[in-house]
Every structure is written in structure tokens, then in C-alpha cells.
Amino acid sequence: MDCCVCTSMPLILRPPRNSICGACYEGARTIINMINNLETEKTKQNTNPNNNNNGSLASRRNSSKTLDDCIRWWSEQIEILNQQKEDLGFLRGIVSAFKEQIHTDILVSPGGHGLPIPAHKSVLATRSEIFKNMLECDECKAAPNNQTITIPDLNHEELSSLLEFLYSGTLPEETIAKDVYALSRAADKYAIPHLLRHCERYLLSSLDTSNALQTLEIADVCSSHNLKETTLVFLVKNIEHVVSSPRFEAFVHRNPHLTVQLVSRAYANGSK
């Protein structure tokens, strides 16, 4: 069928030149419905939940949208996204205060004998409720600048990654890959949910037979239900390969309760 949308030369079409093929028609309807759904959800979130008429009014208002309206909507969203990127870049300027040690007022010491890292009390307190409580003790309030607190769970490199995340809200993927298990534990212990979500996403995306047992341990320690459930399902599917690996015996000794859960699931799955 002649189509004025997907043909490369619409002027050669026979009159009328406003016909479209089935694929283009379905694509246009999908785009319009998607925009309607997005705007309806946004309207529901921004309106009073006690007003039951808001949803129906939004649906009626959105039902008459055209492709031109959709293009304008996407242009607005791109502009909003660009503004958010600009705002985020402005906020991340605080990272330079950490990297250049501008007006630091506390030293954060890693476990072992690593060198302490200069930081800012205000950043630590706003990023973690645990750090906030640590810094609000009488000793910290009365102490002079460059007082030291110790994070015994992390070595110097891991602590540096943690502090960089507290200042910037993100980390390079290679850094997360290298320190993901230590950062996951720290995120759970020091109540930094944003960091924990970053680690969970990386662990889910990189899950394979070589790291699944360790990922299951971390998911259990951090009470991450989604990560734990996904990892258990993966392990059951690959149970023969997992139990024959040299890591499995050590895993059993460290985690008898997880071993029972894994074996029970594998047995039930085999029975079915």
C-alpha cells in the first residue's frame, strides 16, 4: 500500500497523498497512547487524591492528542531533561571541594593502617543518618577541626570510593565493579539507600555462575529481597555447575541457612 509516511518519495504517490500503511498507523496510535498514559499518570500524581473526577478529566483532555502534540510534548521533556542535567552538573560541583580538600573539617580513617581522608562533616551528615548521629555526639561537637572518625569496615581505596559517591551521587562502573561487595555492606550498615540501589543494579546486571554465591551472601546481609530472589532463581537453574565449583564448600560453611534455602529450592524444582 502507498504510504505518505514511510515512503522515501511521497510526491510520486497517486492522489490522495495522505494515506498511510497499517504499520505507520499502529505506530502513531502507540505513540499517542503512550503520551496519554504518561500524562495521565503525571496528572494523578500532581492532583488531589480526594478528587475522583481528576482522572476522568485528564483522560478526556488527552484523548484528542495528535502526532504534532506528541512532538511538542517530547520537545518539552527534552528541555526539562537538559535543565535537570545542568542542575545536576551544578550540584556536583561540590565534588571539587572533596578532591581539592577545600575547607575540610574532619578526617575519615579507614580500617587497618591506611591514611585518613579529609572530608566535610556537613556532607557526611546529610548523606547518612548514621554518620549524622556519629558526628552529633558530644565528643565530635567539642572537638577541633580535623578530628578523625574511623570506618573500620573499609580499606583506604574502598573508603575513597564511598566518599566520592557521597559527594557526587555516582561512581564509574569500573569502581563499582572493583568495590561492589564492600560498598554494598557499607551502604547497608551506614544507611545510604541510594548507594545500595546502585550496587544492586550492578550486581543484577553482572550476575553469572562465578559470582552468584557471593551475590547471594551480600543480598542476604543487606536484606535486598529482589536481588536475593533473582540470585536464588539463577542458582537453581545452574545448580549442577554451582555445587561442583570450589567456592561452594566454603559458601556452605559460612552460610548454612542460605544453603538450606538453595538446596530446598533446587530439590523442589527438580521434583516438579
Across the range 230-247, mean pLDDT stands at 91
Which range, 11-25, 27-41, 73-87, 207-221, is most confident? 207-221
Burial readout 143-166 (b: 16 or more C-beta within 10 A, e: otherwise): eeeeeebebeebbbebbbbbbbbb
CA 237 to CA 6: how far, in whole Å? 44
> pTM score > 0.75 for this model?
no
State the angle between helix axes of 212-221 and 225-237 in degrees (0 to 180), rounded to the nearest 10. 150
Q: Which of 141, 86, 152 is nearest to 114 (CA)?
A: 152
Beta-bridge partner residues of 106? 119, 147
8 Å CB contact between 192 and 128: yes
Q: What distance separates the 2 farthest-apart alpha carbons in the chain? A: 86
Q: CB count, 10 Å around CB of 11?
A: 7
CA 123 to CA 127: how far, in whole Å? 6
Q: Can you tell me whether residue 255 is helix, strand or coil?
A: coil
Q: Can you tell me whether residue 238 is helix, strand or coil?
A: coil
pLDDT 10s digits, 27-70? 888 888 888 888 777 777 766 555 555 544 444 444 567 778 88
Beta-bridge partner residues of 150? 109
User: Beta strand pairing status for 106-110 and 117-119?
Assistant: antiparallel
CA 172 to CA 165: how far, in whole Å? 10
For the chain, the average pLDDT equals: 84
The secondary structure of residue 137, as a DSSP letter, is S
End-to-end CA distance of the chain: 51
Joined grid coordinates for residue 158: 574502598
The pLDDT score that the predictor gives to residue 56 is 47
Domain ranges across the chain:
10-91
Angle at 200 between CA 195 and CA 206, to 5 degrees: 130
- Which of 54-68, 122-136, 166-180, 198-212 shows the lowest mean pLDDT across its residues? 54-68
8 Å CB contact between 179 and 153: no
pLDDT 10s digits, 116-162? 999 999 999 999 999 999 888 755 555 555 588 899 999 999 999 99
The pLDDT score that the predictor gives to residue 14 is 62
Joined grid coordinates for residue 172: 564509574
Across the range 235-261, mean pLDDT stands at 92
Q: What is the DSSP string of 83-119?
A: HHHHHHHHHTTHHHHHHTT-S--EEEEESTTPPPEEE
Joined grid coordinates for residue 216: 547471594
Q: Which helix (H) or strand (E) holds 56?
A: helix 53-62
8 Å CB contact between 230 and 207: yes
The pLDDT score that the predictor gives to residue 90 is 73
